[in-house]
Structure 1
Amino acid sequence: MRINPALLLLILLLIVFTPSIHEWITETQSAWYRPYIVWLGLIIFVYLGQRSTSNNEH
């Protein structure tokens, strides 16, 4: 099984920037939709990654 390099990079970036991302999301003066922006970005990233791998497997 081959690990997608973009997914590996995302995991590495999340490990490095998790404290900053958590602080950005949970600020008291922040907009209510910030956590949803993070989730939407993650869903789009995974969708694009899966779409490209399924095209290569066929």
Structure 2
Amino acid sequence: MSHLTERQRYAISCLLQTGCSQTFIASAIAKDKSVVSREICRNADTRSGEHRSDVAFVT
């Protein structure tokens, strides 16, 4: 499956908040680090720059 699940997006958000690296997050959710990087860029809050897992399912 090439798409991220809601659970994976939530994991990215939580792990980012705890200060984990993109490489660590990628290994934790079994995806390439480029997938994590793109997810962070695509679904970041425009004001704060923080990843929002809830934004991914609205857009």
TM-score after normalising by structure 2:
0.29
Higher relative contact order (CA 8 A, sep 6+): 1
Larger Rg: 1
| Normalised TM-score (structure 1) | 0.29
Higher helix content, 1 or 2 = 1
